[in-house]
Amino acid sequence: MTIEFAPYPFTARQYPARIPPLEAGIDATRHKVAIVGGGPVGLSTALGLARQGIASVLIEADDSVCQGSRAICISRRSLEIIERLGALEGFLETGLPWTGGRSYYRDTEVLHFTMPQDDNQKLPPMVNLAQYHIEELLLEAAEKYPGLIDIRWQTRVTRLEHGDNGVTLGLGTPEGDYALEADWLVACDGGRSTIREAMGLQLRGESYEGRYIIVDIQLESERPTERLAYFDPPCNPGSTVLVHKQPHNVWRIDYQVQDGENAEEAVKPENVLPRVQSLLDMMGERGPWAPVWITMYKANALTLEKYRHGRVMFAGDAAHLVPIFGVRGANSGIDDADNVAWKLAYVVKGLAGEGLLDSYSSERVAATYENLSYGTKSTEFMAPPSFAFDLMRTAVLGLAEKHASVRSLINPRQSSAITYTGSPLNMPDQDVWSAGPVPGAVLPECPLTVFNAANGSPGHVTDLLGTGITALCFTAAAMVPSQLEVFADSMREKGIDLAVVPIAITRPLDPTSRCAWDDTGRLFAMYGAAPGSVYLVRPDGHVLGRWQSPAADQLTAAVEHLLQRAAK
């Protein structure tokens, strides 16, 4: 049950339904890729494909971006992905950055946590931004690719046929019905996925009994942006309450429905609003406020066993449902999109065999289980599923004020970048490394000076990545070793998008191409590198392999291992 009181401080554009030219009731164009679902995951997938030059058609049942309270927290890793997709500026302009939060037991603060943040970073660890803003900003980026992203609004999937050569979708619109054919389908259509249901697939895992009321209110306040958690607060004894500040004076409040409460009664305004007022009184917020949205949420820890089924890939909530605690839902979906887009593009281009898509499933299923492990711990702490759990939580909260050693048990374990430790694509280390990202990890950020021809400007490691594979070459001066030039030339002859970017210890005297200077003196040590070291990085920013002094054939073998795994 969902109740709206007043519109959010955001007006969504509405889009009409559109039927393309047809031949015998079928879209006259057979599409390379169809995407079902126009939320953050579907839009990110379309943008990731467009960035690789691959066209897609995106099917969305609604006539606008979403309404209401959904995802609200975007992680640093997601912001890195969004920057590559061309939408970062709006996220940083509109969103509210934060670095930590506080937890209270009754009326006592028992935890003040901070997320990793130092002067190496380019982006904040977390930004609060409502999903309607997220979708609108991604949509604005998608509209910059009119020839590559075709969005079909007010279009519902009514039928699915899938086989070895592609899929056929039956589509219904207010203007009439038609069919559409595509070589590949990415299902991003949410927790109640029509595609998943049509294929007879089921999510496996655990659904929790605890229910939460989600309330969005408008309130002007100078309180800083941080995650607030209240356990057994005086304003709502026996419950757990979470509070997040959002842009435009919107506040998100989540509180637990207590055992024995009737869910239908608990969500009614006459029962919700007094609890909100009591919470605000406890927080010392005396200003006027107005409710905007009330709904109910139930935590689930569920996943498909695999995310590739022939020509159909699943991503986001269509593939997995992660508890909201730890903000891993939308962030894990954006990570799915980042992973599947470049791999699907490489397959469509003929650069890689279809087996590359199996690594999408294995990597992201493993990531989901890692996210679920953290999300489950947080959920069980927020809403203990048994008397024993409740007894343990009460003991931890009671001890935490005076005993710092137990406070880590209260930590909400916020979303962080996943390392694909067991990925079949990884090239195992053959050299000894004192530091640096292992194969499967994302690149740790570090400031440096970036040169394009003769112009040097402040930048960061992630600024060096392009649309394809990147070889980060550590050098004394910004010169590419001859064996890397041989390697790069051989890759380009095969049509593979590969860039060699030298990173120098000293300032380049005559930078004639793209290179970087470790002007802070931090990067070489951080990466365990010396002149001659090379990191090969995938299009999604994960390390493929690293070598202290590689030969050209070692690097070639690594790329062929990445692209030709299907043959094995």
Q: Are residues 340 and 479 in the same domain?
A: no
Q: Are residues 376 and 386 in the same domain?
A: no
Q: Are residues 198 and 244 in the same domain?
A: no
Q: Would residue 458 count as lying in a domain? A: yes
Helices (H), 424-538: 482-493, 523-526
Domain that residue 233 falls in: 206-300+382-409
Determine the pLDDT at residue 297.
86
Determine the pLDDT at residue 566.
40
Q: Could you give the number of structural domains in the chain?
A: 3
Rg (CA), the chain: 25
Determine the pLDDT at residue 518.
95
| Cα(109)–Cα(94) distance, integer angstroms | 30
Q: Which two tokens stand for residue 88?
A: 């970062």
Class of residue 568 by CB neighbours under 10 A (exposed 0-12, middle 13-18, buried 19+): exposed
For 156, phi and psi rounded to 5 degrees? -110, 145
Q: Are residues 294 and 312 in the same domain?
A: no
Determine the pLDDT at residue 478.
78
Q: Are residues 312 and 194 in the same domain?
A: yes
Q: Would residue 127 count as lying in a domain? A: yes
Could you say which residues of the chain have pLDDT below 70? Answer: 1-4, 6-7, 326-327, 385, 411-415, 453-454, 512, 565-568
Residue pair 5/270 in contact (Cβ under 8 Å)? The answer is: no
DSSP string, 368-381: HHHHHHHHHHHHHH
DSSP string, 403-438: -GGGGGGT------PPP-TT-TT-----S--SSSPP
Determine the pLDDT at residue 327.
66
Q: Would residue 440 count as lying in a domain? A: no
Q: Would residue 441 count as lying in a domain? A: no
Determine the pLDDT at residue 522.
95
Q: Which two tokens stand for residue 400?
A: 């935490």
Q: Would residue 111 count as lying in a domain? A: no
Q: Which two tokens stand for residue 530?
A: 């010396």
Q: Are residues 142 and 81 in the same domain?
A: yes
Q: Are residues 234 and 349 in the same domain?
A: no
| Cα(241)–Cα(271) distance, integer angstroms | 15
Tell me the CATH number at 254. Answer: 3.30.70.2450
Q: Return the closest-CA partner of residue 299 out of 325, 320, 317.
A: 325
The single-letter DSSP state of residue 497 is -
Q: Are residues 343 and 480 in the same domain?
A: no
| Cα(298)–Cα(325) distance, integer angstroms | 11
Q: Are residues 270 and 390 in the same domain?
A: yes
| Cα(141)–Cα(130) distance, integer angstroms | 17
Q: Are residues 462 and 502 in the same domain?
A: yes
Q: Which long-range contacts (CB under 8 A, 24 or more apart) does 236-240 make?
A: 236/275, 236/278, 236/279, 240/382, 240/383
Q: Would residue 92 count as lying in a domain? A: yes
Q: Would residue 423 count as lying in a domain? A: no
Tell me the CATH number at 539. Answer: 3.40.30.120
pTM for this prediction: 0.94
DSSP string, 16-62: ------EETTEESSPEEEEEE--SHHHHHHHHHHHHTT--EEEE-SS
Q: Are residues 549 and 487 in the same domain?
A: yes
Beta-bridged to residue 160, according to DSSP, are 169
Tell me the CATH number at 66. Answer: 3.50.50.60
Q: Would residue 524 count as lying in a domain? A: yes
Residue pair 513/473 in contact (Cβ under 8 Å)? The answer is: no
Distance from the Cα of residue 543 to its chain's centroid: 18
Q: Are residues 259 and 223 in the same domain?
A: yes
Phi and psi based region of residue 335 (left: phi greater than 0; alpha: psi -120 to 50; beta: remaining)? alpha
